[in-house]
Amino acid sequence: MLENQASFSFEDLYIMFGKYALHNITNDIIINGISIDTRTLKQGNAFFAFKGENSDGHTRVKEAFEKGASVAFVSNNWYKLNEESVKDLPIVTVKNSYWGLGELANFHRNRFDCKIVAVAGSNGKTTTKEMIAAVLSTKYKVLKTYKNFNNQLGVPLMLLQLDETYDAAVIEIATDSFGEIATLSKIVAPDHAVITNINKEHLEQLIDLDGVEMEETNLFTYAKKYDIYAYINLDDERLKKYTKALEKCLTYGLNNEAFVRAKVEYNADLYPIMKTKFHEESVELRPNVIGYPGVINTLATVAIAFNMNIPTEDIKKGIENYYPDDRAGYGRLAVINQNEIKIINDTYNANPGSVSEMIKLINSFSEDTNKHIILGDMLELGENSVQEHKEIIDLAEKTTKNIYTFGSEFKKANAKYNYSEKSQILDELMKKLSKGDVILVKGSRGMKMEEVVNMILEKI
């Protein structure tokens, strides 16, 4: 878990939560750092008690104090039931710990005048976030979202990393249900807002594309309300209409009307060569991310970097020095070349939109290239799940006969290509694999499809 040194006084707590939320807290209290885990709690930390599916941090409150916690944040309901057992301990009561941590993080964020970019959208958030951070780092000291710390727990923990040494931050915000983007936008209080695209995601809660658009564009609602810059992908049919609602915006895309636009060619490995234009500038960019997803992520980065006064030569340097990181095992548009076989490791996550884009990408390789598509289930699609998986298989069948799927949803959609064990996929793949082949591996995070990538690498 990320550690932080964020400091808060009695006056800070009083301003945020009011006197009736403060119990046994003296005027001289000083909080040094926030902890949500007693195993890593340090002397002077405030302890936040979170109730999860399998455990309840409220049962650790006394342990937290034994380890040196300065104060504990607990829910109002828990305190009412357990007041007698903690009546002499310094406690802050909040309606729930997510809300309390968000308030604390927003208060801390507003101490600093560093510029913050919020990145939302259905697909490509993480790559776009990483590229923006790489380019801004040519001029500024930049804080960026760590791993998948992009929800109502992770985002506040990221903001609590801020200190006076940072000039900028790039914060990824994600959603799986209505209201989360609005909540996270308020916590982050960004100066710049980009939504990568609108595509099918988390349909179990968001229902359909209209629901996804309604939820994701809460970031643009925030941008309009607080008069901050929004960056609009003109290639996205659902997003481009927001140019009419947002006066303070820059557009990007392959669309000729975009402020940041490009003419693109691809080399044999699908790496783009982009003749990019913006303002009065023209520059050739060669990003190390493949296909159209790499292009649109790059253009978003250029738009933001230009507006944050990064010189053109540094924009080019930052983009061309960025490489997708696959050190965690799962990859995001990571290309691995081994023994004349190319593996596209995009196993970080999956939804119908991102899988479709990757199938289109692999289809862009020359017709005489033998292609293999290995897919794990796309999770959280609700009652539409089987149909969405069927549509993905239909699309894959237009690209190759070499299709391998893993998971119960793909099995329901079409058992013909489905395997019950990942090792079986490897065995079947090895029967068909030859030098010069291209393999796409993708699936939702819970499917751990990077295990297939590792198995392939050990075998070839």
Residue 326 included in any domain? no
**What span, in angstroms and rounded, lies between the C-alpha atoms of 292 and 281?**
22
Cβ neighbours of 255 (radius 10 Å): 13
Is the pLDDT assigned to residue 319 strictly greater than 70?
Answer: yes
The DSSP bridge partners found for residue 266 are: 272
Residue 14 included in any domain? yes
Q: For the domain that residue 19 is a member of, what is the CATH number?
A: 3.40.1390.10
254 and 360 belong to one structural domain: no
94 and 117 belong to one structural domain: no
Intra-chain end-to-end CA distance of the chain, in Å: 36
Q: What's the pLDDT score for residue 3?
A: 85
Q: What's the pLDDT score for residue 272?
A: 94
Whether 270 and 258 have beta carbons less than 8 Å apart is answered as no
Q: Where are the alpha helices (DSSP H) in 36-159?
A: 61-66, 76-82, 97-109, 125-136, 154-159
Residue 445 included in any domain? yes
Name the nearest CA neighbour of 139 among 288, 320, 308, 284: 308
When divided into structural domains, the chain yields a total of 3
**What span, in angstroms and rounded, lies between the C-alpha atoms of 84 and 185?**
38
Name the average pLDDT for the chain: 94
| C-beta contacts of 5-12 below 8 A and 24+ residues apart | 5/32, 5/33, 5/163, 6/31, 6/33, 6/34, 6/104, 6/108, 6/160, 6/162, 7/31, 7/32, 7/33, 8/46, 8/104, 8/107, 8/108, 12/107
160 and 188 belong to one structural domain: yes
Instruction: Give ∠ CA 281-275-307 in degrees, rounded to 5.
Output: 40
Is the pLDDT assigned to residue 328 strictly greater than 60?
Answer: no
Q: What's the pLDDT score for residue 2?
A: 80
Cβ neighbours of 356 (radius 10 Å): 18
Name the nearest CA neighbour of 373 among 330, 434, 437, 435: 437
314: Cα within 13 Å, side-chain hemisphere? 16
Q: Name the band, by pLDDT with cuts 50, 70 and 90, for residue 453.
A: very high
205 and 126 belong to one structural domain: yes
Residue after which a domain boundary falls, among 53, 81, 103: 103
Q: For the domain that residue 285 is a member of, what is the CATH number?
A: 3.40.1190.10
57 and 202 belong to one structural domain: no
pLDDT, greater one: 53 or 373: 373
Residue 325 included in any domain? no
Count, in order, helices (H) and strands (E) of the chain.
17, 22
How far is Cα of residue 120 from the mean position of the Cα atoms in its chain?
7
**What span, in angstroms and rounded, lies between the C-alpha atoms of 177 and 203?**
9
Residue after which a domain boundary falls, among 53, 68, 103: 103
Tell me the pairing of strands 272-278 and 261-266.
antiparallel
Q: Which domain holds residue 76?
A: 7-103
Q: Name the band, by pLDDT with cuts 50, 70 and 90, for residue 204.
A: confident
87 and 119 belong to one structural domain: no
305 and 205 belong to one structural domain: yes
Q: Name the band, by pLDDT with cuts 50, 70 and 90, for residue 153.
A: very high
Is the pLDDT assigned to residue 330 strictly greater than 90?
Answer: no
Q: What's the pLDDT score for residue 177?
A: 94
Is the pLDDT assigned to residue 174 strictly greater than 60?
Answer: yes
Residue 329 included in any domain? no
222 and 303 belong to one structural domain: yes
Name the nearest CA neighbour of 419 among 447, 384, 454: 447
Residue 354 included in any domain? yes
**What span, in angstroms and rounded, lies between the C-alpha atoms of 39 and 64?**
9
Residue 236 included in any domain? yes
19 and 46 belong to one structural domain: yes
Is the pLDDT assigned to residue 203 strictly greater than 90?
Answer: no
95 and 116 belong to one structural domain: no
* Helical packing angle, 422-432 and 450-459, nearest 10°: 40
pLDDT in tens, 269-313: 889 999 999 988 899 999 999 899 999 999 999 999 999 999 999
- Strand ranges across the sheet with 261-266: 261-266, 272-278, 281-285
86 and 199 belong to one structural domain: no
116 and 99 belong to one structural domain: no
Residue after which a domain boundary falls, among 320, 343, 368: 320
Residue 353 included in any domain? yes
Phi then psi dihedrals of residue 168, to 5 deg:
-155, 160
